[in-house]
């Protein structure tokens, strides 16, 4: 039976890296006889500026009911300063499909990419489970006395027992499945007494269900310190929406930059999931053939794993590593190739490995 994938290239460099991601996907599908049905959607800043469309309900429902995966480029365009289209589409899927686990691997593929003096690729291999449906991103709040000296702006931080518990459990389940020894939970319970006391209490309770895994509680500021000083002891991190967003950019820096970081948005156990590189639409790079396509390539690997082919994720990652080692890559990671040429070099290596 065919598997259906909705493709939204997004804006800026999103369109460029998604074009290459699709080419990689098509190559793998042809060589491995995967029956993939790609549904290309015209949604993003161009469409929004043309007719005001963001994410029509009928399209959302068809994706929800018929698709196995969504492949999304980054959203964000200086011509849409309100960012309305990006929020509608991105949060439309994350919240609408209840994709509560934003899974962001932080794996450095080559010593040359590590910015740390004393730590190389072997020391940087962790995964962040970022809560993806709650926190300060739920858009509960408002502004009062706007534009006056007495202005008040509020974004509420929403933390439910159910929401906190399920992301904690997802992180422990991942650790158990992959033979990891410990799970770090990062919060700010010293300062945010109410919401983060819930995180800490739930963490201790959920941890009891996994006696073979060491639960490590850290304040998020200390986590940032440890990630830079010595990331080798960190295997699985679980944290809230805002902190997860921030620590994974720090994580991307440990991988060689945002051009190397892929991600998945999952509701474990459910069919439809969304895959996107961690990076944004990088307007200054757009249209210049400068964007690194490897974050989107690694993201395709994660999607193939979700579709039942984990060996293809490993294969793609090996080929990305080989490209980086051979300097067949873009400038941001030390090469001299453009987006198209780097992606072509990767496809050539993938084709050889697939036979």
The smaller minimum CB distance to ligand NAD, of residues 81 and 355, is found at 81
Cβ atoms of 303 and 69 closer than 8 Å: yes
Cβ atoms of 222 and 212 closer than 8 Å: no
Instruction: Measure the CA–CA gap between 300 and 294, rounded to whole angstroms.
Output: 9
The smaller minimum CB distance to ligand NAD, of residues 15 and 189, is found at 15
Strands 125-131 and 262-266: unpaired
Residues 6 or more apart whose Cβ sits within 8 Å of residue 14: 44, 72, 73, 74, 75, 281
> Shortest approach of ligand NAD to residue 350 CB, angstroms?
19
> How many residues comprise the chain?
355
Coil, strand or helix at 94: helix
The smaller minimum CB distance to ligand NAD, of residues 201 and 288, is found at 288
What is the binding site for ligand NAD (CB under 6 A)? 13, 17, 74-76, 83, 90, 257-259, 276, 279-283, 285, 291-292, 295, 332
Instruction: Give the pair of three-digit tokens for residue 351.
Output: 């084709």
Q: Is the dihedral of CA 328, 333, 336, 342 positive or negative?
A: positive
> Shortest approach of ligand NAD to residue 172 CB, angstroms?
26
> Shortest approach of ligand NAD to residue 203 CB, angstroms?
27
The smaller minimum CB distance to ligand NAD, of residues 11 and 187, is found at 11
Q: Which residue is nearest to ligand NAD (CB)?
A: 76
> Shortest approach of ligand NAD to residue 208 CB, angstroms?
35
> Shortest approach of ligand NAD to residue 336 CB, angstroms?
14
The smaller minimum CB distance to ligand NAD, of residues 120 and 338, is found at 338
């Amino acid at each position: 039976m065919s598997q259906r994938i909705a493709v939204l290239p997004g804006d800026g460099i999103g369109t460029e890296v998604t074009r290459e991601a699709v080419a990689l996907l098509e190559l793998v599908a042809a060589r491995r006889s995967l029956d993939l049905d790609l549904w290309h959607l015209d949604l993003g800043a161009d469409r929004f500026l043309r007719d005001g469309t963001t994410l029509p309900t009928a399209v959302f429902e068809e994706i929800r009911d018929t698709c196995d995966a969504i492949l999304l480029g980054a959203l964000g365009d200086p011509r849409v300063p309100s960012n309305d289209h990006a929020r509608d589409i991105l949060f439309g899927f994350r919240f609408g499909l209840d994709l509560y686990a934003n899974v962001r691997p932080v794996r450095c593929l080559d010593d040359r990419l590590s910015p740390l003096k004393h730590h190389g690729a072997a020391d940087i291999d962790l995964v962040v489970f970022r809560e993806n449906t709650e926190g300060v991103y739920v858009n509960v709040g408002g502004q009062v006395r706007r534009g006056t000296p007495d202005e008040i702006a509020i974004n509420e931080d929403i933390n439910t027992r159910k929401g906190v518990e399920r992301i904690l459990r997802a992180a422990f389940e991942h650790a158990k499945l992959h033979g990891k020894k410990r799970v770090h939970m990062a919060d700010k319970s010293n300062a945010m007494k109410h919401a983060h006391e819930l995180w800490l209490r739930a963490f201790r309770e959920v941890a009891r269900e996994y006696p073979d895994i060491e639960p490590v509680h850290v304040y998020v500021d200390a986590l940032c310190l440890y990630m830079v000083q010595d990331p080798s002891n960190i295997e699985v991190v679980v944290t809230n929406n805002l902190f997860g967003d921030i620590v994974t950019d720090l994580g991307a820096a440990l991988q060689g930059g945002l051009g190397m970081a892929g991600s998945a948005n999952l509701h474990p156990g459910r069919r439809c999931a969304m895959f996107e590189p961690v990076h944004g639409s990088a307007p200054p790079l757009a249209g210049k053939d400068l964007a690194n396509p490897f974050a989107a390539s690694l993201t395709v690997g994660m999607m193939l794993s979700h579709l039942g082919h984990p060996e293809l994720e490993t294969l793609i990652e090996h080929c990305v590593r080989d490209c980086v080692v051979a300097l067949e890559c873009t400038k941001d990671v030390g090469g001299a190739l453009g987006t198209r040429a780097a992606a072509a070099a990767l496809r050539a290596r993938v084709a050889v490995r697939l036979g």
